[in-house]
Amino acid sequence: MIVVLHRHATREQVDSALEILAGHGVPVVSGTVRGAVALISEQDVPAAVAAELESAPAVERVVVVPGVQRLTSRVFSPEDTRVAVGAGGAVVIGGPEFVVIAGPCAVESRAQMQAATDAVVAGGAVMLRGGAFKPRTSPYSFQGLGLAGLTLLAEQRGRTGLPVVTEVVTPKDVESVAEESDMLQVGTRNMQNFELLREAGASGKPVLLKRGMSATVEEWLLAAEYLMHTGNGGVVLCERGIRSYDRSTRFTLDLAAVAEAKRRTHLPVIVDPSHSTGQPHLVGPMSLAAAAAGADGLIIDVHTDAAGALCDGPQALTGEQFAALTARLAPVVEAVGRTLATRRTQSLASV
């Protein structure tokens, strides 16, 4: 149940609503709904108690939401949420435009970033990706450039106007990553790092929440609840493949989960065909399938020297492959009633 309070409710009025709930033994946590405080409970209440609450002066409305979801539920918020990213809402995810985000897995150097950024701009991406803090399976693998990587990423934003998304792996880095980027990424390995979710949510920046590689759709949505109950409405989900028995692809892309998540939640859902398949020749077909399945966008690895890449080179598309893919994507996106988002023109400067 969600009890949405009036924006101008007084402390006393809120306390009396809380007393009604306490009187019925209903524990609540407070969250924020579009800037107004809400009292959220795991429990639902009988209709008579809901009616009593609705007549309390502090209460705007009471919404009984079936199941475990609350703020992420389509029952609570039937319309699709649109998440604006970048200065002036340069990119909107979840609206009529299908959004393509692209860039290298990791930020490696200024020259690498400039080449990759030029390639993704030429291929029609509207947002740039690149990891500065990398959560690597092995401690001996390249761990990312850290803060220096954030600066190199932000340089490319300055040069092109593309909003940037980058991963944050630990709560203590949320502030600096939020300062240098337009959207925080929480990776598959951290989907249930609840302290990180709280901190990332509280930053107020849009968050790209990847599905845990062994997470159910319900667990994924509950992780999004952690972000949303901090008052952050800018949450975008990303299906990036789940672990299965089959090693012929890096992970198993679960496109049914995309359609199912879109049914259960108003939040946008995008797909990562690169990390899920791990193979460039599968990125194209899975991108087209994701668009047809109702995804709101894609996040694709692009590297101009995949053989020399410090992270995930084998799955990256070249600039030419990326441009060929977006050309094939446009008619599929149009067939499902959308258009491919295009970059607001800004000429490329050198850095």
Interface positions with ligand PEP (CB under 6 A) = 105, 131, 167, 187-189, 210, 240, 272, 275
Residue nearest to ligand PEP (CB): 187
Based on the shown chain and the rule CB under 5 A, indicate whether residue 167 belongs to the binding site for Mn ion.
no
Cα 255 to Cα 247: distance, rounded to the nearest angstrom: 18
Write down the residue that tokens 């084998």 correspond to. 314
Which positions from 286 to 325 touch Mn ion by CB under 5 A, shown as an x/- string? --------------------------x-------------
Task: Name which of Mn ion, ligand PEP, none residue 24 binds, using a CB cut-off of 5 to 8 Å depending on partner kind.
Answer: none
Cα 347 to Cα 107: distance, rounded to the nearest angstrom: 22
Cα 169 to Cα 187: distance, rounded to the nearest angstrom: 8
Write down the residue that tokens 């020399």 correspond to. 308
Q: State which of positions 206-265 bind Mn ion (CB under 5 A).
A: none
CB of 316 to Mn ion, least distance (A): 9
Give the single-character DSSP code of 193.
-
| β-strands 36-40, 2-5 pairing | antiparallel
CB of 165 to ligand PEP, least distance (A): 9
CB of 311 to Mn ion, least distance (A): 6
Task: Name which of ligand PEP, Mn ion, none residue 187 binds, using a CB cut-off of 5 to 8 Å depending on partner kind.
Answer: ligand PEP
CB of 223 to ligand PEP, least distance (A): 13
Of 176, 231, 182, the residue nearest 207 (C-alpha): 182
For residues 1 and 271, which CB has a smaller minimum distance to ligand PEP in the complex? 271
Cα 113 to Cα 105: distance, rounded to the nearest angstrom: 11
CB of 53 to ligand PEP, least distance (A): 41
The structure tokens listed for 54 are: 């609705």
CB of 339 to ligand PEP, least distance (A): 25
Based on the shown chain and the rule CB under 5 A, indicate whether residue 105 belongs to the binding site for Mn ion.
yes
For residues 275 and 338, which CB has a smaller minimum distance to ligand PEP in the complex? 275
Return the SS3 of 265. strand
What one-letter code names the amino acid at 222? L
Alpha helices in 137-203 (DSSP H): 147-160, 174-180, 194-202
Binding site for Mn ion (CB under 5 A): 105, 312
